[in-house]
Chain A
């Protein structure tokens, strides 16, 4: 799980302009300035990074990084 959170941190700072200081497992995607279009972009990037498909209904700006990591782990396990 920590590995996934670390990879999410790398991804969000490299591709979505998130400041490393703002990133934490408890931060919501909204806190990190990902709006609705940013979330769709994130779905595309996450698909390549983690090899899983996330749909629009599965994430919202209220979700935390930790929620997202849970989702990725469960999707990867279900492959």
Chain B
């Protein structure tokens, strides 16, 4: 069958991000363009002692105590986001054919809070005191497993692990599951909650984190001349994807279409981006071909934009070369920090919202665009503009790249 870019629909979104709990709060704060990094008591005394947390998330209240005590935070965030997305899509898990519902969730590091706490028990109290729930709480498979249990989704159940591209990869794979007919609905997104002393210290030792400890709210500044690293964040976003024909048949509103997916490997270096951007270009070209679009049809780019010197320079240079000066570019990581395996999904959700509402959020803290950044980066205030097609970039350590194309809903 010949597919068009209008054949897969986004019908639901759920978000728990440092910008807030729920899509409406998150989106409003992302549009406000103010960085939400703040001192983090869990990181007190460390070289980098601030982060971007999901504010006020209480798993016992949201999910109930029976689920909260035996799940890691990254699983809890994913479950809450999945519930919101399914409700937003107007679907009812008590009546759907669960065998036709898939779950694909991106995650990079698993339940590191559990892992670190239990390692301390092992070291201080001995092997007989370690919790038997350690493995089922920390494995990267658990978010997808618990979402399936929570929502009676017994179709294909996968976790994609492509580092900071994991969430984007998950959503791209979900599109494939719909196109090959193995699912009628896919809950797809990403989740990460690894703001722990060990993980923060490790990223700091890599020189990947901003050390602007005196001004944490000015630390995440993608594409700015004074950027000096990312801010560790957490969060989850989930999308409900369906074939557009199925969504129309049940009269579900279509927020936008997931019209293309491209993936590639830099095959260059474990952590450094290829400054020539060959791998990323390949992923963008694959995604555009999948969507049947030309580079000059892309109005907006939701960039990976981590606020590190290397990523932002390489990404900007590649975007200028491949897409020209036309697209309005933003990085929401200025507001949210970098939630690793959750980031690609959070940013895909933002891209859907941008396309749906015709507005590009500003890049927080972009005061003086870097001399190496020769693209149109939105700063200061949201930019209202019609957006027919947009892309969302996600790149991971390991050189993994995922690019999604989002297309405005076709008139019915």
Q: Is the interface of A mostly helix, strand, loop or mixed?
A: helix
Q: How many Å from the CB of B70 to the closest CB on chain A?
A: 7
Instruction: Assess the A17–B133 pair: CB atoms within 8 A.
Output: no
| Interface check A40, CB cutoff 8 A | yes
Smallest CB separation, B378 vs chain A (Å): 44
Residue contact A17 to B131, C-beta cutoff 8 Å = no
CB-CB under 8 A from A33, the residues of chain B are 66
The complex places the Cα of A36 from the Cα of B133 at a distance, in Å, of: 10
Distance of A26 Cα from B147 Cα, bound (Å): 32
- Find residues 27-47 in chain A having any chain B CB closer than 8 Å to their own CB: 33, 37-38, 40-41, 44
Report the nearest A residue to B136, measured CB to CB. Answer: A37
A76 interfacial by beta-carbon distance below 8 Å: no
Q: Which chain A positions have C-beta within 8 A of B66? A: 17-19, 33
Choose among A13, A18, A19, A37 the residue that contacts B133 (Cβ–Cβ < 8 A). A37
- B384 on interface, CB distance cutoff 8 Å: no
CA A41 to CA B137, docked complex, whole Å: 13
The answer to whether A41 and B67 touch across the interface, beta carbons within 8 angstroms, is no
- CB pair B68 A40 closer than 8 Å: no
Taken residue by residue from 37 to 68, chain A's Cβ proximity to chain B (1 for < 8 Å, 0 otherwise) reads as 11011001000000000000000000000000
For the complex, give the distance between the alpha carbons of A41 and B67 in Å: 15
Q: Are B67 and A17 in contact, CB atoms less than 8 angstroms apart? A: yes
Chain B residues near A41: list those with CB within 8 A.
131-133
A19 to B68, CA, bound (A): 12
**CB neighbours of A19 from chain B (8 A):** 65-66
A40 engages B69 (CB within 8 Å): no
> Most B CB atoms within 10 A — which of A17, A18, A33?
A17
Does chain B have a CB within 8 A of A15?
A: yes
Q: How far is the CA of A18 from the CA of B129 in the complex (A)?
A: 22
A37:B132 contact, CB within 8 angstroms: yes
Min CB distance A77 to B, Å, is 24
Cβ of B45 within 8 Å of any chain A Cβ, yes or no, is no
The distance in angstroms between the C-alpha atoms of A37 and B136, with both chains bound, is: 10
Contact at A17–B129, with CB atoms within 8 Å? no
Complex alpha-carbon distance, A44 and B132, angstroms: 9
CB of B64 within 8 A of chain A?
yes
**Are A17 and B65 in contact (CB-based, < 8 A)?**
yes
Whether A17 and B68, one on each chain, are in contact in the complex, defined by CB atoms closer than 8 angstroms, is yes
A44 adjacent to B70 (CB under 8 Å): no
Asked if B131 and A44 make an inter-chain contact with CB atoms under 8 angstroms apart, the answer reads: yes
Q: In whole angstroms, what is the CA distance A16 to B133 when docked?
A: 12
CB–CB B69/A17 < 8 A: yes
Mask for A5-29, Cβ within 8 A of B = 1, else 0? 0000000010111110000000000
Q: Verify B129–A38 contact, CB threshold 8 A.
A: no
What is the CA–CA distance of A5 and B68 in the complex, to the nearest angstrom?
Answer: 23
In the bound complex, residues from chain A placing their C-beta under 8 Å from that of B64 are 17
* B133 pairs with A44, CB closer than 8 A: no
- A13 / chain B contacts, CB cutoff of 8 Å: 65
Task: Provide the residues of chain B in CB contact with A18, threshold 8 Å.
Answer: 65-66
CB-contact partner of A40 in B60, B65, B67, B132, under 8 A: B132
User: Nearest CB to that of B60 among chain A residues?
Assistant: A17
Which chain B positions have C-beta within 8 A of A37? 132-133, 136
Are A15 and B69 in contact, CB atoms less than 8 angstroms apart?
A: yes
CB nearest to B68 among chain A residues: A17
CB distance from B150 to the nearest CB of A (A): 14
Nearest-CB residue, chain A, relative to B66: A17
Q: Which residues of B contact A44 (CB under 8 A)?
A: 129, 131
Question: Which residue, of B66, B129, B136, has the highest number of chain A Cβ atoms within 10 A?
Answer: B66
A-B contact pairs, 16 of them (CB 8 A): A15-B69, A16-B69, A17-B60, A17-B64, A17-B67, A17-B68, A17-B69, A17-B70, A18-B65, A18-B66, A19-B65, A37-B132, A37-B136, A38-B133, A41-B133, A44-B129
Could you list which residues of chain A lie within 8 angstroms of chain B, going by C-beta atoms?
Answer: 13, 15-19, 33, 37-38, 40-41, 44
